[in-house]
Amino acid sequence: MSNGAGSTDRRVFVDKQSPKAYQALVDTSEAVRATAADAGLDRILVELINLRVSQLNGCAFCLHVHTRAALRAGETSQRLGVLAAWRDTELFTDRERAALALAEATTAPADAALQTSAYEDARRHLTDDETSAVIWVAITINAFNRVSILSKHPVRAQELRAQ
């Protein structure tokens, strides 16, 4: 059933509609998570990358999921609160800054100057394995962002609990 002009904005949840394709993306994500761990990227840095890319893409669902994951991994609410303006704080290490800049450049690859600058900075602060892992994490969360944005996955209020 297609949504023609004048129809409601009921979206197809492409993850549910095409489960084999979605499972391939999940499998890729698991391989990337292992690659990141093998490269020495800790869970907090991976979640910061997931969150920053999701901020850039405006993916509410992924922001919801990865904020919770970052907090579980030990990230602070202070750093999460200023992540969108990470360049304007002193809360992130040079290594984290390099990774965030590279993730942003991966998300906006048409900006050649940004990409070149970010890549050069990454080469100063990240190993080859870390550089590759950061790019793969950014590529993967970009794919999940598109699935959630185009499907309009809902973010529902949850009861607050003490953790």
Q: What is the pTM of this model?
A: 0.90
pLDDT tens-digit profile, the chain (163 residues): 444 444 567 889 999 999 999 999 999 999 999 999 999 999 999 999 999 999 999 999 999 999 999 999 999 999 999 999 999 999 999 999 999 999 999 999 898 999 999 999 999 999 999 999 999 999 999 999 999 999 999 998 875 554 4
Domain count, the chain: 1
User: What string of H, E and C letters represents the secondary structure of 70-103?
Assistant: HHHHCCCHHHHHHHHHHHHCCCCCHHHHHHHHHH
CATH code for the domain in which residue 63 is found: 1.20.1290.10
Which domain covers residue 138, as residue numbers?
15-151
103 lies in a domain? Answer: yes
